[in-house]
Amino acid sequence: MDRVFIEGLEVDTVIGAYDWERGIKQCLRLDLSFAWDNRPAAAGDDLTLALDYASVSARIQAFAEQSQFQLVETFAERLAEVLMSEFQIPWLHLKLTKPGAVAAARGVGVEIERGCR
């Protein structure tokens, strides 16, 4: 299985369960890996057959701008649903980190894997 990945994508969004968090945007860091058959795109050097990570990244940014969730778990689940549906991605692994959420930690968050490899 081939994989396409995006590492360290930072997005700003309203996220958090506390009242003070509901009025500000916070940074989330995303690492994603997608199952994708790269052979058709490589055979003809054809971007239209590739998983366009620039388009995927732009969609993630737009999703984050429109989102207002309390839980990082909800953000991750909804984002996975959107990406798999809109880009016909059969499988993905998503690591979502919320930097600074716990003072003594570099970051906290969730990792999810959805779909079939």
CB 85 within 8 A of CB 106: no
Residue 98 known to be catalytic: yes
Catalytically annotated residue among 11, 51, 98, 109:
98
Helix, strand or coil, per DSSP, at residue 78: helix
Name residue, tokens 């779909």: 115
Q: How far is CA 8 from CA 28, 31, 32, 40, 91, in A?
A: 9, 5, 9, 27, 19
Show which residues are catalytic.
98
